Amino acid sequence: MDPLSDVLGLLKPRNLMSAGFDAGGPWSVRFPDQQATIKCGAVVSGTCWVTVEGVAAPVRLDAGASFLLPSGRPFRLASDPALPPVEAGTMFPLARHGGVVTIQGGGETFLVSSRFALDGAHAAMLLRVLPPIIHLRPQGEEAALRWSVERMMQELRDPQPGSALVIQDLARMMLIEGLRRHLAEAPQGGVGWLFALADRRLGAAIGCLHDAPAHRWTLAELAARAGMSRSTFAQHFREKVGTSPLDYLTRWRMALAAERLARSGDPVSVLAPALGYESESAFSTAFKRVMGCSPRVYGRQAAAREAGTR
């Protein structure tokens, strides 16, 4: 797979809720804090404003625009950002499992939105490299995103057998298309592995690390894959990703190890050689440095979390 798919595979985004929002007249709705979640949405018709806590200015969303809110911060959607808001919990109880909420007769602004929960152990891998709000303006060539939005609108307005599964898949497509658009439009100064994927040469090197995490990669090998000199590659990678190539490799290995400890319970004696470590002690030291606890403690904590969700 590609690096973005790899990371999303670890994060396991689960669609907690998809709903439609049909509003008319003046309105303002406040949504509460939602840690380790991503909200994505799109304006099918009309216009509205989104205001995110901690972001100075509200953002106007016109018909065809979409947005991602990766921070989980409280936010407001409104016809006018100056209006006092109503709490979302009083208006959306019937839409938690799909459906359309109508405000004041509707007919002026229609939105579709989905909220995803991320695996808390790895959520920071994606969330820390994204801004609090991503505004994706309408573009005529964005057929895939537009199709997903329009099809979700149809499923929410007129549910059919299997609609729940269709909506889940459409929501996932909206999330991925939104991240792709943000990646394509990201400013050159963006720092983090996600922005580095837009750089063809760095993306090739990161792809190698993801494809073969157990390989004992050297700086020279990675620079060759990127078609750059060692010094230029090392400097460019650090500037764009925010860390060195080998430190990135270590962190990716530990993310994979954490996933296996949580899901399969593999012992350190199996994980260490599978992820490129000659000794269990070297692996355990790296794991504790990156994850903040030993593999054994992490495995116990993961098992307790899993038991608590049942």
CATH number at residue 112: 2.60.120.280
Which one of 157, 185, 213 terminates a domain?
185
| Strands, sheet with 75-78, edge to edge from the N-terminal-most edge strand | 59-62, 47-52, 75-78, 28-31, 86-87
61 and 140 within one domain: yes
| Domain extent for 165 | 3-185
Mean pLDDT for each consecutive 10-residue tract of the chain (310 residues)? 86 86 94 86 94 93 92 92 90 62 90 86 80 83 75 87 89 88 73 85 94 95 96 95 94 93 87 95 95 91 67
151 and 199 within one domain: no
Q: What is the CATH number of the domain that holds 256?
A: 1.10.10.60
255 and 129 within one domain: no
175 and 103 within one domain: yes
Helix, strand, coil share (%) of the chain residues, nearest 5: 45, 20, 35
* Number of domain units in the chain: 2
- Please name the residue that has the structure tokens 């899993």: 306
144 and 229 within one domain: no
121 and 36 within one domain: yes
Tell me if 205 sits within 8 A of 233, measured CB to CB.
yes
Predicted local confidence at residue 148, as pLDDT: 84
Predicted local confidence at residue 195, as pLDDT: 84
Predicted local confidence at residue 2, as pLDDT: 86
Q: Give the torsion through C-alpha atoms of 177, 182, 183, 184, to 10 deg.
A: 90
167 and 72 within one domain: yes
Which one of 127, 159, 185 terminates a domain?
185
The H-or-E segment that residue 259 falls in is helix 245-263
48 and 84 within one domain: yes
Predicted local confidence at residue 193, as pLDDT: 87
On the CB side of 84, how many CA atoms lie within 13 Å of its CA?
A: 0
Predicted local confidence at residue 233, as pLDDT: 97
Which one of 185, 219, 247 terminates a domain?
185
- Please name the residue that has the structure tokens 């040469």: 201
DSSP secondary structure string for all residues of 71-100: S---EEEESSTTSPPEEGGGT-GGGTTS-E
128 and 67 within one domain: yes
Handedness of CA 5, 8, 10, 16 (dihedral sign): negative
pTM: 0.80
Nearest-angstrom CA–CA distance, 125 and 68: 16
Helices and strands counted in the chain (H then E): 12, 11
Predicted local confidence at residue 92, as pLDDT: 66
Residue 169's region, left for phi above 0, alpha for psi from -120 to 50, else beta, is: alpha
Nearest-angstrom CA–CA distance, 202 and 211: 14
263 and 172 within one domain: no
Please give the structure tokens belonging to residue 214: 């157990």
